[in-house]
Amino acid sequence: MNKTSQRKLVTFAALAALMIGLAAFPRSAAADEVKAKEAYNAGIKAMQDGKVDEAILQYRAAINEDPNYADPAINLGAIYFEKKQYDEALTLFRSAAEHDKTRVDAWANLGRTHYVLKQYVEAVAAFKTASGLTPKDAEIWIELGKAYDKSNNDAEAAASIEKAHELGGGDYLSWYLLGKSYEGLKRPADAISAYKKSVTLKNDFYYSHSALGQIYLSQEKFDLAAGEYKQAAQIDPKQDKAGYNYAVAVQSQDPEDYTRAREAWEGFVTKFKNNPKANKFIAGARETIKALKEAETQAGLQ
């Protein structure tokens, strides 16, 4: 692991891989600082050798020698995060941020830990500090946007994700979240554009297709809604909502096409009749099928 990659900010999945480079120290350093850096370097070596328990002991020793030393606190926090010991990770990242307020990685990892603990207000504060320290880091802006989204702050979520996209960052998920924020801000045209960008980047992402279907359904663009819900149902056949709304869109598209509507509802019932989550819809669907059959009969008699 080289020093450049060791200092790179990490996402949740890679958090435990954060290993800051070996510390060099001047000969004139105080004894406790020397011992702290020796223990820290030993922790780095232990992690490289796959000896996590030894690394924990060495990082702890480094912190005990020099409580203001941010590097071992960040690395130890990363280990605890990976172990899902989030309270321990939170304490260590907070300590590192307090002792070195310019450390982007300390603030970013603090935000990530608050986020996974569902402490979204605190996550926003940490990510805002991190974004202020590194304003051209698109990933931090996206993480800030996600925290705002969880805080139900659509305006700030949209602004943060827009900033990330301006910086060249983003992916199908960030575009989905942007569309979600635009919906909250009553900007359906912008939401549609964002969702379409999301499915362009990942065509098998259920939630963007479903979200598009919902907007089109509300706009009474039933053919477009049916198309999106059909794709959503194909992507995730277990989603009863997509199957139900597909049938609604088909029937609404041409209320007098009784056969097509009946077949759509029958398809829904066949697929979800044994799904407990769909029970509340099944009875109504069967009543609709019955009414459509009667309408077909009456139309045939005329």
CATH fold group of domain 221-302: 1.25.40
Whether 132 has a pLDDT exceeding 80, the answer reads: yes
User: What are the tens digits of pLDDT across the range 189-229?
Assistant: 999 999 999 999 999 999 999 999 999 999 999 999 999 99
Give, as one character, the DSSP assignment of residue 70.
H
- Distance (Å, rounded) from C-alpha 292 to C-alpha 117? 49
Q: In the chain, where does the domain assigned CATH 1.25.40.10 lie?
A: 1-113
Q: Give the containing element (helix H, strand E) for 152.
A: none
Q: What is the DSSP string of 224-288?
A: HHHHHHHHHHHH-TT-HHHHHHHHHHHHHH-TT-HHHHHHHHHHHHHHHTT-GGGHHHHHHHHHH
The stretch 31-47 carries a mean pLDDT of 91
Strands (E), the chain: none
Q: Is residue 80 a contact partner of residue 95, using CB atoms and an 8 Å limit? A: no
**pLDDT (0 to 100) of residue 302:** 58
Q: Please give the structure tokens belonging to residue 133.
A: 């320290």
CATH fold group of domain 1-113: 1.25.40
Give the predicted TM-score (pTM) of the model: 0.85
pLDDT range class, residue 273, cuts 50, 70, 90: very high
pLDDT range class, residue 161, cuts 50, 70, 90: very high
The stretch 77-81 carries a mean pLDDT of 98
